[in-house]
């Protein structure tokens, strides 16, 4: 009787809301399944904690009405709204979770033997800083984790600070440790920057030549779009980045499209390539698809780990894929705060890791050069050159050479070459303005100067 009443209520609700309401429900189910799956099987967090924070905070509170089930043996999460709009996310070793009811189309070589992988001394426990030796930094960390306005929660989860290549301070929220991989959201775009640089160095991709995309044949005006224009968010392609509208491009691409690269590449031009700056997660996934073509299907699934993550010690990093097996380079990279700091250190050192060149000579300088079409020089090539507006306070101007990998909910890796500093902040900040990252960076730099 209870099930019948619930089903009747669900049908009534969706008959009133119509197709638009069903789309909301489908998005809610997909988001819940994916975030819960990755939270449990990638981050190894308690399921209840993920449900009560990542899937309930602030404007996410309607997700409390999504019913979810976790199958620990199958490493799968099912979610639905009032019994309808079911979605499933499944975990794969070293590749994270994918939204698909059937096994993802991952090439046979995707398995990675991690038995011989060990962390190097930089990230060992003996290098863990002692905050009592750094009273100024300890005060900054107190500020970072304080909740100044209960109605606009910051929810800082992790902070890691490197100075002169040394770990000088770190702190974590309850339930999060130095071994907890956390979602970087659009900091993933800066990972794609690094992978693109490696392929340019190998000659597999070219910055200024038209990017070979099957959907853009000769004669199609999109055929002229270059890798550099995509990295600089200046492709001219249409893309709706509105993360509220369930019919917008970004939510459809991330949570419904079977192939994120193909979906983004199918969109029309709104402006001639190179003439207009427009932030777009779709352009990053087009690059991720081009990488697949460049390295080949069999090598693609392990490419980020072989080419980048393992070479700089980011052993915790997981870059998730769509159902077709293409990396969702715009949004879904998980890594510990220390490993996100390693990415920053690579860029601080001009693309070198110890004595090995990982990125091409001049690649970091290119990445932090303002995109010609970007307003006020705020964006480079998949790196922000200014703190995005939603996370900007009233701090003094930061050093001119500071640049940032930045992501949704207040994720940051800030690199300040003139101060030899890398500053990582990870959180769950839903309200614009609740986290003032420029003020945080200014406080850290002031403490390091004392």
Cα atoms in the 13 Å half-sphere on the side-chain side of 180: 21
Which pLDDT value is given to residue 128? 55
Count of H-run helices and E-run strands, the chain: 13, 14
Which pLDDT value is given to residue 397? 87
Six-digit token pair at 54?
Answer: 């990542």
Alpha-carbon gap, residue 407 to 379, rounded angstroms = 14
Short-list 446, 445, 394, 404, CA closest to 425: 404
Contact present, 21 and 84 (Cβ < 8 Å): no
Contact present, 254 and 393 (Cβ < 8 Å): no
Which pLDDT value is given to residue 295? 97
Please work out, in degrees rounded to the nearest 5, the angle formed at the alpha carbon of residue 178 by the alpha carbons of 435 and 423.
40
Could you tell me the pTM of the whole model? 0.91
- Which strands, in side-by-side order, build the sheet including 76-81? 66-71, 76-81, 84-92, 96-99
Short-list 333, 330, 236, CA closest to 288: 330
Q: What is the dihedral of CA 379, 240, 284, 300, to 10 degrees?
A: 170
Six-digit token pair at 278?
Answer: 């427009």
Alpha-carbon gap, residue 257 to 324, rounded angstroms = 9
Which pLDDT value is given to residue 33? 98
Per-residue pLDDT of the chain (450 residues; tens, 9 = 90+): 443 433 334 444 444 445 456 788 999 999 999 999 999 999 999 999 999 999 999 999 999 899 999 999 999 999 999 888 999 999 999 999 999 865 555 554 444 333 334 344 454 444 555 554 578 899 999 999 999 999 999 999 999 999 999 999 999 999 999 999 999 999 999 999 999 999 999 999 999 999 989 999 999 999 999 999 999 999 999 999 998 887 799 999 999 999 999 999 999 999 999 999 999 999 999 999 999 999 999 999 999 999 999 999 999 999 999 999 999 999 999 999 999 999 999 999 999 999 999 999 999 999 999 999 999 999 999 999 999 999 999 877 899 999 999 999 999 999 999 999 999 999 999 999 999 999 999 999 999 997
Alpha-carbon gap, residue 117 to 344, rounded angstroms = 21
Which pLDDT value is given to residue 217? 92
Which pLDDT value is given to residue 100? 84
Q: Crossing angle of helices 188-202/281-295, nearest 10°?
A: 40
Exposed / middle / buried, residue 135 (Cβ in 10 Å: 0-12, 13-18, 19+): exposed
Measured in degrees and rounded to the nearest 5, phi and psi for residue 357 equal -85, 120
Short-list 71, 39, 349, 7, CA closest to 175: 39
Contact present, 429 and 409 (Cβ < 8 Å): yes
β 84-92/96-99 pair status = antiparallel
Which pLDDT value is given to residue 13? 44
Contact present, 95 and 309 (Cβ < 8 Å): no
């Amino acid at each position: 009787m209870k099930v019948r009443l619930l089903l009747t209520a669900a049908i009534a609700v969706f008959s009133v809301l119509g197709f638009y309401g069903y789309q909301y429900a489908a998005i809610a189910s997909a988001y819940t399944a994916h975030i819960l799956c990755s939270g449990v099987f990638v981050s190894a967090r308690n399921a209840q904690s993920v449900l009560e924070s990542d899937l309930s905070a602030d404007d996410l509170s309607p997700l409390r009405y999504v019913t979810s089930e976790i199958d620990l043996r199958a490493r799968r999460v099912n979610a639905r709204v009032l019994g309808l709009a079911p979605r499933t996310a499944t975990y794969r070793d070293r590749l994270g979770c994918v939204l698909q009811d059937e096994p993802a189309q991952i090439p046979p070589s995707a398995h990675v033997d991690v038995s011989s992988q060990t962390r190097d001394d930089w990230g060992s426990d003996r290098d863990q800083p002692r905050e009592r030796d750094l009273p100024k930094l300890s005060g900054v960390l107190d500020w970072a984790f304080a909740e100044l306005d209960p109605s606009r929660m910051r929810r800082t989860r992790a902070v890691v600070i490197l100075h002169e290549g040394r770990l000088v301070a770190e702190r974590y929220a309850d339930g999060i440790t130095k071994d907890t991989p956390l979602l970087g959201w659009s900091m993933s775009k800066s990972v794609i920057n690094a992978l693109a640089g490696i392929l340019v160095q190998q000659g597999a991709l070219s910055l200024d030549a038209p990017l070979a995309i099957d959907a853009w044949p000769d004669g199609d005006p999109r055929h002229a779009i270059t890798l550099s224009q995509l990295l600089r968010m200046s492709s001219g392609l249409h893309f709706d980045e509105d993360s509220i509208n369930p019919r917008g491009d970004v939510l459809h691409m991330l949570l419904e499209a079977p192939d994120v690269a193909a979906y983004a590449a199918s969109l029309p031009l709104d402006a001639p390539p190179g003439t207009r700056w427009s932030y777009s997660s779709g352009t990053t996934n087009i690059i991720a698809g081009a990488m697949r073509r460049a390295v080949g299907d069999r090598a693609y699934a392990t490419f980020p780990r072989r080419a980048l993550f393992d070479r700089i010690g980011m052993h915790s990093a997981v870059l998730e894929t769509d159902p077709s097996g293409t990396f969702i380079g715009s949004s879904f990279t998980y890594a510990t705060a220390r490993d996100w700091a390693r990415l920053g250190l690579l860029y601080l050192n001009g693309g070198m890791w110890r004595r090995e060149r990982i990125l091409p000579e001049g690649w970091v300088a290119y990445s932090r050069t303002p995109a010609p079409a970007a307003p006020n020089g705020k964006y480079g090539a998949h790196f922000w050159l200014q703190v995005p507006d939603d996370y900007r306070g009233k701090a003094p101007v930061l050093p001119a050479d500071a640049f940032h990998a930045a992501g949704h909910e207040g994720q940051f890796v800030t690199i300040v070459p003139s101060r030899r500093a890398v500053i990582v902040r990870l959180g769950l900040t839903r309200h614009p303005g609740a986290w003032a990252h420029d003020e945080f960076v200014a406080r850290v730099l002031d403490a390091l100067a004392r």
